[in-house]
């Protein structure tokens, strides 16, 4: 039997945004990672599916899957002007958050427009793009949803550094900097700049990006099935202190099937995932 306990306390500090640093999460600081039985790193998809339980039931429980990940998938960070800047931004598992940012002006080289339904129709605009691998996975996911009579809409994918500057400055003008940083990512710190994220909604939610989407059949199906296509719900409810963001029922991030499954089966966030995987 393998046991992995989460070092949640140290993750809370990662967000560095002031949200939740006084929350009860920090009391878990002294929990340590324990590994027993170093064999059997392999997981079987159907076995892990059977093991899945709702997140509420898993809190405090030891996980049974041993998660491993090649060191190349970890962020490589350099300190630039006091900011932590990611040096391997094309890493498919790149961890972008309020602490770790992308290089100024970084744009992925392989952006394509996935062949899916968009909330804004056929317009060929920046936010319809994703990196190729993510776009192909998104197409498969939307097709499978349609097979279940669920009509998903892609709403917002890639966002350039320059566009994020505009969005952020607009928000600062409207509500001031202090409030703006709570809801809009600082340029360089938006996951949308990776080309690996897509905001998704549905006709039943009027294509809105709101918590209500999470209550629709489409939103519920995505939460339970996105990992099969390599996507995770990036900002889950109850993990705000760890991700640094409010619950976003619509924001899905591509990380590949293996990592998405490990994250889903163990009720983790991407931040927590990097604390429990073992480098190989």
List residues binding Zn ion (CB under 5 A).
Answer: 199, 251
When the beta carbons of 99 and 265 are compared against Zn ion, the nearer one is 99
Contacts of 127 (CB under 8 A, 6+ apart): 155, 156, 157, 158, 159, 192
Q: Taking the complex as a whole, how short is the minimal distance between the CB of residue 192 and Zn ion, in angstroms?
A: 6
Cα separation, 139 vs 124, whole angstroms: 17
Q: From the CB of residue 133, how many other CB atoms can be counted at a distance below 10 Å?
A: 16
The distance in angstroms from the start CA to the end CA of the chain is: 20
Q: Taking the complex as a whole, how short is the minimal distance between the CB of residue 96 and Zn ion, in angstroms?
A: 11
Q: Taking the complex as a whole, how short is the minimal distance between the CB of residue 269 and Zn ion, in angstroms?
A: 15
Cα separation, 249 vs 235, whole angstroms: 7
Closest to 2 measured CA to CA, from 71, 61, 73: 61
- 């993510």: which residue's tokens? 134
When the beta carbons of 92 and 209 are compared against Zn ion, the nearer one is 209
Residue 39 zone, left/alpha/beta (φ > 0; ψ -120 to 50; rest): beta
The encoded tokens of residue 98 equal: 């309020």
Fill in the DSSP letter of residue 263.
Answer: H
Q: Taking the complex as a whole, how short is the minimal distance between the CB of residue 92 and Zn ion, in angstroms?
A: 18
- 């089966």: which residue's tokens? 265
When the beta carbons of 99 and 199 are compared against Zn ion, the nearer one is 199
When the beta carbons of 65 and 199 are compared against Zn ion, the nearer one is 199
Q: Taking the complex as a whole, how short is the minimal distance between the CB of residue 225 and Zn ion, in angstroms?
A: 19
Residue 35 zone, left/alpha/beta (φ > 0; ψ -120 to 50; rest): beta
When the beta carbons of 112 and 167 are compared against Zn ion, the nearer one is 167
When the beta carbons of 66 and 251 are compared against Zn ion, the nearer one is 251
Q: From the CB of residue 36, how many other CB atoms can be counted at a distance below 10 Å?
A: 10
When the beta carbons of 93 and 196 are compared against Zn ion, the nearer one is 196
Q: Taking the complex as a whole, how short is the minimal distance between the CB of residue 251 and Zn ion, in angstroms?
A: 4
For Zn ion, which residue has the nearest CB? 251
Q: Taking the complex as a whole, how short is the minimal distance between the CB of residue 8 and Zn ion, in angstroms?
A: 24
Residue 217: φ, ψ to 5°: -55, -35
Fill in the DSSP letter of residue 15.
Answer: H
């Amino acid at each position: 039997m393998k046991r992995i306990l989460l070092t949640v306390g140290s993750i809370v500090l990662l967000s560095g945004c002031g949200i939740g640093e006084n929350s009860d999460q920090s009391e878990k600081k002294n929990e340590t990672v324990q590994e027993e039985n170093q064999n059997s790193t392999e997981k079987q998809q159907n076995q892990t599916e059977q093991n899945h339980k709702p997140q509420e039931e898993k809190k405090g429980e030891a996980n049974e899957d041993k998660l491993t990940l090649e060191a190349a998938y970890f962020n490589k960070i350099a300190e630039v002007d006091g900011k932590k800047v990611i040096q391997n931004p094309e890493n498919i598992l790149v961890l972008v958050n309020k602490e770790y940012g992308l290089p100024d002006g970084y744009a992925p080289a392989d952006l394509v427009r996935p062949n899916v339904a968009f909330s804004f129709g056929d317009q060929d605009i920046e936010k319809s793009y994703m990196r190729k691998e993510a776009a192909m996975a998104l197409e498969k996911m939307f097709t499978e949803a349609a097979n279940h009579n669920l009509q998903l809409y892609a709403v917002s994918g890639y966002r350039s550094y320059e566009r994020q500057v505009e969005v952020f400055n607009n928000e600062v003008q409207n509500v001031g900097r202090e409030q703006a940083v709570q809801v809009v990512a600082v340029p360089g710190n938006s996951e949308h700049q990776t080309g690996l994220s897509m905001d998704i909604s549905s006709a039943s939610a009027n294509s809105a990006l709101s918590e209500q989407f999470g209550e629709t059949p489409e939103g519920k199906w995505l939460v339970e099935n996105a990992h099969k296509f390599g996507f995770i719900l990036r900002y889950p409810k109850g993990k705000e202190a760890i991700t640094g963001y409010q619950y976003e029922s619509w924001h899905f991030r591509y990380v590949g099937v293996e990592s998405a499954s490990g994250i889903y089966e163990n009720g983790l966030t991407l931040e927590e995932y990097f604390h429990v995987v073992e480098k190989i």
